[in-house]
Amino acid sequence: MRIGELAAKAGVSVRALRYYEEQNLLASVRSPSGQRQYPDSAVDRVQWIQQLYAAGLPSRTLVELLPCTLTGEVTIELLGRLTAERDRIDARISDLVNTRDRLDGIIATVTTVGATGRHCSPGNSTAS
Amino acid sequence: MRIGELAAKAGVSVRALRYYEEQNLLASVRSPSGQRQYPDSAVDRVQWIQQLYAAGLPSRTLVELLPCTLTGEVTIELLGRLTAERDRIDARISDLVNTRDRLDGIIATVTTVGATGRHCSPGNSTAS
DNA sequence: CTAAAACCTGACGCTGACGTCAGAGGCAAG
DNA sequence: CTTGCCTCTGACGTCAGCGTCAGGTTTTAG
């Protein structure tokens, strides 16, 4: 498939795909005229890249870890990096849960509310 | 307290605090000579700001939501924004858990490893 | 009193993951 | 053959949350 189709299927922009190639995250075979050709498997790969980006991993890290997350072959250093990143994600999860719970607490104190634009505060459930 | 002390106590840079003020996230009283003065409560406030930043909320959103997360007073629209952000954080947590689990799966297939620099793959537990 | 440390206001620099525009070539349809 | 969409390679623009430097004032320690 060509780049436009891959972009559509993976839900990213064409620019993003060319950027991934620039970062050595995604390879392509070139047609005689220079157009990029991708196998079907590229869709999953791109989505996995997106997921790791969303987890906060920068492209440098992805360059190192992406191959082994797909082949399952890894050196012991890479395994260390892998578990380290996993732990960092774990930590971020904890932080987010913490923040969400705190927001929930705040929301709970002002749950009972009047009409649009009205003011409300903790003791304002059925306003006088 | 002055800005340097606040920075130290809150664990952020002086520059960050001035930036927060620029973004109307953190107010200060000025001494006659123009130096910023903060109350003790500013430490908690700054840490809360940091936590919300870490949760992915941009400063524009913080400007709207920060006051009511501290006073408990909120309009119904703000309550909507508040729960919306909570839900977005929830979604991010789900994504991260998903990613972490996938990484865990990958790590599990290569857990038993040999010496530094050695190669390993799923069936390589007690290498020959 | 003086030197160091802390503070001030601009204002430009940085990083990362792209967006976007320019200018040119490819490719199937009518 | 030309219309129109897709693709190509640069290369500069963007945005956010600060870092950092310049050049000057204020506060503090000795």
A27-69 pLDDT, tens digit each: 999 999 999 999 999 999 999 999 999 999 999 999 999 998 8
* pLDDT at residue A126 is higher than 50: no
Which residue does chain B place closest to A50, by CA atoms? B99
CA closest to C25 C1', residue:
A33
Across chain A, mean pLDDT equals 87
In B1-128 the beta strands, taken as DSSP E runs, fall at 29-30, 36-37, 74-75, 119-120
Q: What is the pLDDT of residue A125?
A: 41
Give the minimum alpha-carbon distance from A58 to chain B in angstroms, rounded to a whole number.
15
In this prediction, residues A99-128 reach a mean pLDDT of 65
* pLDDT at residue A123 is higher than 80: no
Across chain B, mean pLDDT equals 88
Tokens 């007690």 correspond to what residue? B126
Contacts of A73 in chain B (CB under 8 A): 110, 119-121
pTM for the whole structure? 0.84
Query: Is A19's CB less than 7 Å from nucleic acid strand C?
Result: yes
| CB under 8 A, 24+ apart: contacts of A15-23 | A17/A46, A20/A46, A20/A49, A23/A59, A23/A62, A23/A63
Query: Is B80's CB less than 7 Å from nucleic acid strand C?
Result: no
Yes or no, beta carbons of A73 and B115 under 8 Å apart: no
Contacts of B102 in chain A (CB under 8 A): 51
- Residue B20 φ then ψ, to 5°: -60, -40
Contacts of A57 in chain B (CB under 8 A): none
How many cross-chain Cβ pairs, A to B, lie less than 8 Å apart? 138
* pLDDT at residue A86 is higher than 60: yes
In chain A the beta strands, taken as DSSP E runs, fall at 29-30, 36-37, 74-75, 119-120
* pLDDT at residue A128 is higher than 50: no
Q: What is the pLDDT of residue B120?
A: 52
Question: CB of A107 within 8 A of CB of B82?
Answer: yes
pLDDT tens sequence across B79-123: 999 999 999 999 999 999 999 999 999 998 875 555 444 455 554
Give the minimum alpha-carbon distance from A63 to chain B in angstroms, rounded to a whole number.
15
* pLDDT at residue B128 is higher than 50: no
- pLDDT category, B77, cuts 50, 70, 90? confident
- pLDDT category, A70, cuts 50, 70, 90? confident
Q: What is the pLDDT of residue B76?
A: 86
Q: What is the pLDDT of residue B109?
A: 86
Give the count of alpha carbons within 13 A of A39, CB side only: 5
Interface with B, mutate which of A62, A85, A93, A109 (most B CBs under 10 A): A93
* pLDDT at residue B126 is higher than 50: no
